[in-house]
Every structure is written in C-alpha cells, then in structure tokens.
Amino acid sequence: MRNTEWVTGIAVFTGHETKIMKNSARARPKKSKVEIITNAYIVMTIFIQGALCLTAALFNAFWQKLQGEEFSYFEFPAKGSPEFIPIYYQIFISFGTWFLALMNFVSISLLVTLEMVKFFQAMFISYDWMIFDVEKGMEAKVQSSNLNEELGMIHYIFSDKTGTLTQNIMEFKRFSAG
C-alpha cells in the first residue's frame, strides 16, 4: 500500500473493542500521602461516630421505655393503641437524632483547609522569583496542586560501587561538626 497513489477504505468498527481502545489505560488520579491518610482518618471517624450514635440510640430507647409515663417530655402510648411506636423505630429515630447532633464530629472543614493550603502553596511556587530557569526563560508553573506535599522529598539516593557519595557525606559531617 506504500506505493499506491490512493486507497479507498471503510471503517467497519471503531468502538471500545478496537486495538487502540483496549491498549489504552485510564490514568488514575494522583493523591499525596497526606490526602490518603486524611481520607482514611475521615472514614475511621465516621465509623466511630456511627458506633457512638448506635450506642446512644440504644441507651436512649431503653431509658425511655424504663421511664414510661414518668418521662414527662414524651407520652408513651400503650402497646395496643394505634399511636404505639415499636422500639426498633424509636432506636432508628434516636440514631438519626444523635447522628445530626454529632455531625460536627467529622470535620469537613479539615478538607477545605487542606485544599486552601495547597492553593496558597501553588501560588507561592508560581510567584517565587528564585524558581526561574534562566537558560530556557521559564518560570515555575503549577499544573496541579495535588502533590505539593511531595515536592522536595528524597526517596532514593544512588551512588556508585565505591560509595563515593557516602564517603563525601561522612566527610561533610566530620567537617561541619568541627
């Protein structure tokens, strides 16, 4: 087909079963370690809040049943009357009440504060005149603020077989110590 002047063709199938679509992988969103830990703590806090609400709802329902008519805030209808409320319904209502009362237990403002800090970090990086490549004439440009916390962290140090880097670091420590 390279040596032909023109070719007539028709696309038979161009959906998700084509080779290019099967070989393309979705890019997974990048999350910093701080964001991962924060999300885990929020889920743990929600489970703790649910356990507290369930415990409080059970105690509240049983306390109301024990108080009976002496509990002046509510009237408890007799078991045969149409206004009778079963205990599981009282537990359900009490759970919802406690959940709303303890809603500030899960701090959504923590996530908002983290996002604001990331935004201001990105602004400071963008406006920092010290981060400027003179050879290319480019300043720092923040494309995403998701990984601000990961900047500048050293995970691996490579050196040659002789350990020259290690020796230099040790000599620097001896020199700086006195």
Span 47-106, pLDDT tens digits: 999 999 999 999 988 887 777 655 545 555 556 555 567 778 888 888 998 888 888 776
Catalytic residue among 160, 173, 175, 177: 160
Residues with Cβ within 8 Å of residue 31, at least 6 apart in sequence: 39, 146
Q: Which helix (H) or strand (E) holds 133?
A: strand 132-133
Q: Does 169 score more than 80 pLDDT?
A: no
To the nearest 5 percent, what fractions of the chain are helix, strand and coil? Answer: 55, 0, 45
Task: Report residue 176's pLDDT band, with 50, 70 and 90 as the boundaries.
Answer: very low
Answer yes or no: 160 catalytic.
Answer: yes
Q: What is the DSSP letter of 80?
A: T
* pLDDT given for residue 121 in this prediction: 86
CA 72 to chain centre: 46
pTM: 0.55
Q: How far apart are CA 155 and CA 160, in angstroms?
A: 17
- Mean pLDDT score of the chain: 76
